[in-house]
């Protein structure tokens, strides 16, 4: 998994980890901030949330076109500093009046523009590392590692947001609404760390900033462009088919910061006991990750020393979890934003499992192609929302539930429903997202690489905008919300399978 990868991969991945940590810290509490600070309804907050996500993922299309002309490294550098200014504005408590709205919208605009220049182009630079023939066969594994690094940042984000808000309220005496700005301040600090990493290790990936990995690769790319002149159209058509489908994946997936957060706040138990309570401490999840990776190391290592180190790590992690269990309080508080830690946790923990499975299939010549994996990801996403259907059976509509909460008679369900949903959605994500990015970097015509990577983000942007549909109907029986999302995923799966011949020609 990690062997034989270029050093530049890890530098770029770590720089992206810092940026994503900040982004997901902000996103974990964003809709709750909109309601607490401005008194917005679920639908109104969902509208701002979906518009923001739309711009965050649409503008990289323009950022990619700019980078194709002026260089990826230059755009990434400009973008990360623009983002930093945006997060600093969000961190300033400005009340709830017109000035507060101006600060918020200005900050969101800067974060969107900065992301447009940073995110897609950084991923193109990762892909450019593998234009070098020495690394060409490691492209898919590299994007899985890169994606895992993103989620390491996202894993700690909800906890960071909650802890900073608690500190602001309990130790500094700030109101609930003002405490959100302390969570946004965490995002500002994480961007500074990301900037430091990017410039400290720039020499390991500087050769990718103009899109050419090596002199040898440059010659090969020139030859490739001549060949691509004949099949550019088929490549772009194939990519557009994939883009059309992933719109509905992101519409479903990014309910994590919207309707799934509403469900966590209004319908899920606010406390946990026993072994389940261990899951709501991020450090316990980190211990589980250590156990997973150490198990892989133990069975794959060739030396007794390496096996011994892996066994020691497993022993320490298991002992730590045992100690944590014996010292658990009678019940552990469960905050709505904390559920957003489970998706990145599952990504980090399951990435080596995914790579091992597909690696074994590849050795037997049975590994599914990237388009098939993407299609299967849509089907698995549908299963995730069928889990939510099961968890929502018999629950009141949102308006009735609000009244029941105020009266102290609300029925709440086990956190296991949401945790299970995030687990299934993570399986879908691992099938679709890193494979989709790898597919784009591989199939996109060379001279349009930045623009096509931007196209992936345009599809994501449209899906993000469509997240508001679920928020807009938040008021009907919940099963209808989840069935709508599941149905769209199933239809997308069927459509992509019907186009598989076209996709396999260029895969």
Q: How far apart are CA 201 and CA 186, in angstroms?
A: 23
pLDDT tens for residues 168-183? 999 999 888 899 999 9
For tokens 């994946």, the residue is: 249
Predicted confidence at residue 382, as pLDDT, reads: 97
Please give the full DSSP string across 439-497, using - where no structure is assigned.
HHHHHS-GGGHHHHHHHHHHHHHHHHHHHHHHHHTBTB-HHHHHHHHHHHHHHHHHHHH
Give the 3-state secondary structure of 180-232: HHHHHHHHHHHHHHHHHHHHHCHHHCHHHCCCCCCHHHHHHHHHHHHHHHHHH
Predicted confidence at residue 216, as pLDDT, reads: 46
Instruction: Specify whether the CB–CB gap between 112 and 57 falls below 8 A.
Output: no
Q: If we measure between CA atoms, which residue out of 87, 74, 159, 58 comes closest to residue 122?
A: 74
Q: How far apart are CA 344 and CA 350, in angstroms?
A: 10
Predicted confidence at residue 213, as pLDDT, reads: 42
Tokens of 506: 């260029």
Q: How far apart are CA 418 and CA 343, in angstroms?
A: 10
pLDDT in tens, the chain (507 residues): 566 788 889 999 999 988 889 888 988 889 889 999 999 998 899 889 888 988 888 888 888 888 888 888 899 999 999 999 999 999 998 888 888 999 899 999 999 999 889 988 898 888 888 877 787 777 777 888 888 888 888 888 888 998 999 999 999 998 888 999 999 999 899 999 999 999 999 999 888 887 544 434 454 555 555 555 557 888 888 888 889 988 999 999 989 888 999 999 999 999 999 999 999 999 999 999 999 999 988 988 889 999 999 999 999 999 999 999 999 999 999 999 899 899 989 988 988 888 888 888 888 888 888 889 999 999 999 999 999 999 999 999 999 999 999 999 999 999 999 999 999 999 999 888 888 888 887 888 877 777 887 788 889 889 988 988 998 999 999 999 999 999 999 999 999 999 988 887 776
Tokens of 124: 């193109």
Predicted confidence at residue 361, as pLDDT, reads: 87
Q: Is 473 exposed, middle or buried (0-12, 13-18, 19+ CB in 10 A)?
A: middle
Tokens of 425: 């959605």
Predicted confidence at residue 57, as pLDDT, reads: 82
pLDDT tens for residues 270-295? 999 999 999 999 999 999 999 999 99
Q: Give this prediction's pTM.
A: 0.79
Q: If we measure between CA atoms, which residue out of 157, 186, 168 comes closest to residue 285?
A: 157
Q: If we measure between CA atoms, which residue out of 239, 138, 176, 181 comes closest to residue 25?
A: 181
Predicted confidence at residue 212, as pLDDT, reads: 45
Element (H, E) at 20: helix 7-38
Predicted confidence at residue 226, as pLDDT, reads: 53
Predicted confidence at residue 198, as pLDDT, reads: 92
Instruction: Specify whether the CB–CB gap between 134 and 82 falls below 8 A.
Output: no
């Amino acid at each position: 998994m990690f062997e034989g990868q270029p050093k530049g991969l890890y530098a770029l991945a770590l720089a992206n980890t810092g940026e994503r940590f900040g982004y997901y810290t902000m996103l974990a509490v964003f809709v709750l901030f909109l309601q607490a600070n401005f008194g917005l309804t679920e639908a109104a907050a969902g509208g701002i949330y979906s518009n923001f996500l739309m711009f965050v993922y649409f503008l990289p299309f323009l950022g990619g076109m700019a980078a194709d002309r002026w260089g990826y490294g230059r755009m990434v550098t400009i973008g990360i500093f623009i983002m930093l200014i945006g997060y600093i504005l969000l961190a300033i408590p400005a009340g709830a009046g017109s000035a507060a709205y101006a600060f918020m919208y200005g900050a969101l605009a800067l974060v969107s523009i900065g992301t447009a220049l940073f995110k897609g182009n950084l991923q193109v630079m990762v892909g450019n590392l593998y234009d070098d023939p020495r690394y060409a066969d490691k492209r898919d594994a590299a994007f899985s590692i890169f994606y895992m690094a993103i989620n390491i940042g996202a894993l700690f984000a909800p906890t960071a947001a909650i802890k900073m808000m608690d500190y602001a309220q309990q130790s500094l005496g700030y109101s609930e609404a003002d405490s959100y700005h302390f969570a946004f301040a965490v995002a500002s600090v994480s961007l500074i760390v990301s900037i430091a990493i990017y410039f400290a290790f720039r020499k390991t990936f500087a050769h990718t900033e103009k899109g050419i990995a090596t002199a040898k690769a440059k010659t090969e790319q020139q030859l490739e462009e001549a060949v691509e002149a004949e099949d550019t159209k088929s490549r772009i058509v194939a990519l557009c088919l994939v883009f059309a489908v992933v719109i509905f994946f992101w519409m479903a997936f990014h309910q994590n910061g919207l309707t799934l957060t509403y469900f966590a706040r209004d319908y899920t138990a606010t406390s946990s006991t026993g072994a389940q309570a261990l899951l709501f401490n991020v450090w316990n999840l980190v211990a589980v990750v250590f156990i997973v990776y150490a198990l892989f190391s133990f069975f794959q290592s060739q030396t007794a020393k390496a096996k011994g180190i892996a066994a020691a790590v497993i022993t320490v992690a298991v002992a730590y979890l045992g100690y944590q269990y014996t010292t658990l309080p009678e019940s552990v508080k469960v905050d709505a934003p904390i559920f957003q830690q489970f998706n990145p946790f599952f990504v980090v923990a399951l990435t080596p499992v995914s790579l091992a499975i597909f690696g074994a299939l590849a050795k037997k010549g049975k590994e599914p192609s990237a388009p098939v994996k993407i299609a299967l990801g849509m089907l698995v996403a549908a299963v995730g929302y069928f889990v939510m259907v099961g968890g929502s059976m018999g629950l009141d509509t949102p308006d009735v539930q609000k009244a029941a909460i105020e009266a102290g008679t609300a029925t709440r369900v086990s956190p296991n429903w949401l945790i299970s949903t995030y687990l299934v959605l993570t399986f879908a994500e691992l099938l679709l997202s890193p494979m989709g990015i790898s597919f784009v970097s591989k199939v996109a015509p060379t001279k349009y690489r930045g623009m096509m990577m931007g196209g992936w983000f345009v599809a994501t942007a449209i899906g993000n905008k469509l997240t508001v549909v679920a928020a807009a109907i938040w008021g009907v029986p919940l099963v209808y919300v989840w069935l709508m999302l599941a149905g769209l995923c199933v239809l997308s799966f069927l459509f992509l399978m019907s186009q598989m011949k076209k996709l396999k020609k260029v895969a």
